[in-house]
């Protein structure tokens, strides 16, 4: 085989698309970790995958291995953190260094069901929040504890939260990231994830989705003040990423237009993205966002964000936004990463309907750039043979 005929690796295909070059094939890359963990837990891992690691399963089925990691951690000064699982203290530290606050992946137990309470003690006040993990979440592989109470419960908590945010330090972990990147290898792509933009941070992590709307309605002044405190910190961290040489970074906003409606999107989301993208573009980075919610209401506004990629784009019928709508409206960007609803990998969809859908997508896509993936992820009740089919179909579809 001549050098020019040599196939690109999945990583090279992703990079080609991100950097505006034409790859040899459409990159097809996403997560099957829910499927893998769920099938393993249920004792239903197909025999061909017994003893195989997650990356090896990706390799076997031909779908690239998407994984995430944080290029930096946050050091919290003058804060004591205490984690209690079902009443038993499991962790305590002063001035902790955390990569993902307040989701605390890696800190909250994910191998047993129960409620984890996290306390944050500061000189100006105390906050607490809770996560709950169900047995079913473990057995289906979706081992993400769900936040059942948020750090800010009333107006009095604002000043404590502001104190916490104002006393943070940026701690680079570029070496750790590079090490993980090497582990993921050429058949995958390790996405450097950064935090949520301030509005989504308050909406999802800090106040809670419904409570945020009450808070914004009842106490707009305090809400906006907290937003600006978070914005200052995010801006500072993004500027510090200049030393991080990755070509692409991704916000983790789980955007959904029914929650963050067009009015809120215009007021709080667009200006934030425009400002952050300007900083990151200035560093030569492409910028994406994890947009796995229903984008129907904001699909026409997304191009104004200056984002380069909408990752985990989950179309109809899982959401009400069709692939065609986004495809038409995002002609000049952002790129879609995702685009195949996991619905099509379920038993309730016939093999014929599934294959017709894939053909329809490939025809629609033509040679326009896209990174195909499954929105939001391949679930434990999905048919992995269909994922393999997509991978094979793409390999036989040069662009």
Partner 1 sequence: MNEILKSIYAAVLTGDMTTTQEQVEEAIKIGLTPADILQEGLISAMTEVGRRFEAGDYYVPEMLIAARAMKGGLTILKPLLAASDVQPLGKIVLGTVKGDLHDIGKNLVSMMLEGAGFEIVDLGVDIPPDKFVEAIRSGGIDVLGMSALLTTTMPLMKATIDALVDAQLRDQVKVIIGGAPVTQSYADDIGADGYAPDASRAASLTKSLVG
Which residues contact partner 1 by CB under 8 A? Answer: 38, 132, 134-137, 140, 142, 146, 148, 209-210, 213-214, 216-217, 257-259, 261-264, 294, 297, 317-320, 342-343, 346, 348, 379-382
Q: Between 248 and 343, whose beta carbon lies closer to partner 1?
A: 343
CA dihedral 159, 83, 145, 131 (to 10 degrees): -50
The nearest distance, CB 14 to partner 1, in angstroms, is: 26
Q: Which ranges of 69-140 does DSSP label H, i.e. alpha helix?
A: 135-139
The nearest distance, CB 54 to partner 1, in angstroms, is: 18
Q: Between 139 and 235, whose beta carbon lies closer to partner 1?
A: 139
- 222 beta partners: none
Q: Between 34 and 72, whose beta carbon lies closer to partner 1?
A: 34
First CA to last CA distance, the chain: 19
The nearest distance, CB 151 to partner 1, in angstroms, is: 18
The nearest distance, CB 220 to partner 1, in angstroms, is: 12
The nearest distance, CB 135 to partner 1, in angstroms, is: 8
CA dihedral 250, 254, 255, 259 (to 10 degrees): -160
**CB neighbourhood size of 89 (10 A):** 11
- 237 beta partners: none
Q: Between 176 and 349, whose beta carbon lies closer to partner 1?
A: 349
- Closest Cα to residue 193, out of 61, 285, 85? 285
What is the bridge-based pairing of β-strands 335-341 and 309-313? parallel
The nearest distance, CB 287 to partner 1, in angstroms, is: 26
Q: Between 259 and 272, whose beta carbon lies closer to partner 1?
A: 259
- Given a contact cutoff of 8 angstroms between Cβ atoms, the answer to whether 253 and 196 are in contact is yes
**CA–CA distance, 125 with 59 (Å, rounded to integer):** 50
Q: Between 86 and 209, whose beta carbon lies closer to partner 1?
A: 209
Q: Which ranges of the chain does DSSP label H, i.e. alpha helix?
A: 10-18, 33-41, 54-61, 135-139, 157-166, 174-184, 198-200, 209-218, 220-240, 262-264, 270-282, 323-329, 351-365, 384-395
The nearest distance, CB 158 to partner 1, in angstroms, is: 20
The nearest distance, CB 253 to partner 1, in angstroms, is: 16
Q: Between 85 and 174, whose beta carbon lies closer to partner 1?
A: 85
The nearest distance, CB 381 to partner 1, in angstroms, is: 6
- Given a contact cutoff of 8 angstroms between Cβ atoms, the answer to whether 399 and 25 are in contact is yes
The nearest distance, CB 383 to partner 1, in angstroms, is: 12
Give Dmax (Cα) for the chain: 68
Q: Between 309 and 379, whose beta carbon lies closer to partner 1?
A: 379
Q: Between 119 and 211, whose beta carbon lies closer to partner 1?
A: 211
For 214, list phi and psi in degrees, rounded to 5: -65, -45
How distant, in Å, are the alpha carbons of 11, 17, 164, 237, 373 from that of 169? 32, 34, 11, 9, 35
Q: Between 50 and 217, whose beta carbon lies closer to partner 1?
A: 217
**CA–CA distance, 339 with 311 (Å, rounded to integer):** 9
- Given a contact cutoff of 8 angstroms between Cβ atoms, the answer to whether 148 and 130 are in contact is yes
């Amino acid at each position: 085989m001549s050098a020019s005929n040599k196939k690109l690796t999945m990583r090279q295909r992703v990079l080609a698309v991100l950097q505006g070059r034409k790859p040899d094939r459409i990159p097809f890359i996403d997560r099957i970790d829910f499927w893998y963990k769920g099938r393993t837990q249920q004792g239903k891992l197909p025999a061909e995958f017994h003893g195989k690691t997650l990356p090896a399963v990706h390799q076997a089925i031909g779908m690239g291995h998407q994984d995430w990691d944080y290029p930096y951690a946050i050091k919290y000064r003058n804060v004591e953190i205490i984690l209690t699982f079902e009443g038993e203290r499991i962790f305590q530290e002063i001035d902790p260094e955390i990569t993902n606050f307040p989701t605390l992946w890696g800190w909250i137990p994910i191998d047993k069901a129960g409620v984890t309470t996290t306390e944050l003690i500061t000189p100006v006040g105390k906050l607490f929040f809770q996560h709950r993990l169900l047995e079913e979440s473990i057995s289906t592989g979706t081992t993400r504890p769900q936040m059942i109470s948020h750090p800010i419960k009333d107006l009095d908590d604002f000043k404590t939260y502001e104190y916490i945010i104002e006393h943070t330090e940026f701690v680079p972990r570029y070496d750790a990231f590079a090490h993980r990147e090497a582990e993921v290898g050429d058949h995958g792509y390790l996405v450097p994830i950064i935090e949520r933009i301030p509005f989504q941070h308050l909406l999802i992590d800090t106040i809670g989705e419904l409570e945020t709307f009450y808070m914004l309605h009842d106490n707009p002044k305090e809400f906006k003040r907290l937003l600006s405190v978070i914005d200052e910190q995010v801006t500072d961290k993004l500027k510090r990423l200049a030393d991080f040489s990755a070509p692409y970074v991704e916000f983790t906003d789980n955007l959904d237009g029914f929650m963050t409606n067009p009015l809120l999107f215009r007021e709080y989301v667009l200006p934030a993205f425009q400002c952050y993208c300007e900083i990151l573009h200035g560093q030569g980075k492409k910028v994406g966002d994890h947009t796995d919610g229903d984008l129907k209401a904001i699909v026409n506004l997304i191009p104004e964000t200056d984002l380069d990629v909408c990752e985990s784009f989950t179309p109809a019928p899982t959401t009400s936004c069709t692939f065609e709508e986004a495809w038409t409206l995002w002609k000049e960007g952002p790129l879609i990463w995702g685009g195949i609803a996991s619905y099509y990998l379920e038993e309730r969809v016939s093999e014929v309907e599934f294959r017709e859908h894939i053909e329809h997508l490939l025809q629609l896509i033509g040679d326009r750039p896209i990174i195909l993936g499954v929105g939001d992820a391949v679930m434990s009740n999905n048919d992995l043979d269909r994922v393999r089919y997509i991978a094979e179909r793409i390999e036989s579809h040069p662009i």
